[in-house]
């Protein structure tokens, strides 16, 4: 039974949660705003009091996802301190953990085609979240001789790409991409290879 949208307790958040469920089920382009309204138990007309369209709804889901992601990354970074290496490795593992625990948010953030510059709020929280990985990379890169030191942004981008690849191929049940190794092991060993290449780990570690 459809509820009266204007009297819904927290319509905006109910729509975001409905959006996340539909993203997990059908993907970011597999549902309409009317379906999100029906999932939330309100009339389609009520949705437009809060969102102009489906992309605005997905952008809000992404913004909330980045808030969770930023908190997890900051917690992982702090937990690894004072070791720059432990802090850096922890942020990589936090990326994988987030993707597994919050698949709807993850897709809204990274697979929906929504630009992080769509709103100032989305851009600010995304910058904060990804800045944690850059901070961890910057700390760790201080142990590399200056003439061999990659820019922290490049360092962070490499690990982000590695983490994202492991998530996409092996951690989210993509068809046809089975691995005999757990995603956590793939990520840890991949980061290890990268760090050894930079001289941050001994060859036999």
- Cβ(29)–Cβ(88) under 8 Å? no
CA 164 to chain centre: 9
**Mean pLDDT over residues 156-166, rounded?**
87
Ordered domains of the chain (ranges, CATH): 1-51 (1.10.10), 57-197 (1.10.357.10)
Say what the pLDDT of residue 3 is: 43
**Mean pLDDT over residues 33-47, rounded?**
90
pTM: 0.85
Could you tell me the CA-to-CA distances from 156 to 143, 162, 182 in Å, in that order? 15, 10, 23
pLDDT tens-digit readout, 165-199: 888 887 766 555 667 788 888 888 888 888 888 87
> CA triplet 41, 47, 48: central angle to 5 degrees?
165
């Amino acid at each position: 039974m459809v509820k009266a949208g204007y009297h819904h307790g927290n319509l905006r958040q109910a729509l975001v949660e409905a959006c996340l469920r539909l993203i997990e089920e059908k993907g970011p382009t597999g549902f309409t705003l009317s379906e999100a309204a029906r999932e939330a138990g309100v009339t389609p007309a009520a949705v437009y009091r809060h969102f102009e369209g489906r992309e605005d709804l997905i952008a809000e889901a992404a913004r909330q996802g980045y808030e969770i992601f930023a908190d997890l990354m900051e917690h992982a970074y702090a937990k690894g301190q004072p070791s720059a290496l432990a802090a850096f490795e922890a942020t990589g593992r936090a990326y994988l953990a987030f993707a597994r625990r919050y698949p709807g948010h993850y897709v809204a953030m990274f697979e929906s085609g929504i630009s992080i510059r769509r709103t100032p709020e989305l851009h600010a929280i995304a910058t904060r979240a990804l800045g944690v990985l850059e901070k961890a990379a910057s700390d760790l890169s201080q142990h590399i001789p200056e003439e061999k030191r990659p820019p922290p942004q490049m360092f962070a981008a490499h690990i982000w790409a590695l983490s994202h690849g492991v998530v996409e191929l092996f951690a989210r049940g993509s068809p046809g991409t089975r691995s005999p190794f757990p995603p956590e092991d793939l990520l840890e060993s991949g980061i290890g290879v990268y760090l050894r290449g930079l001289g941050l780990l001994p060859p036999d570690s």
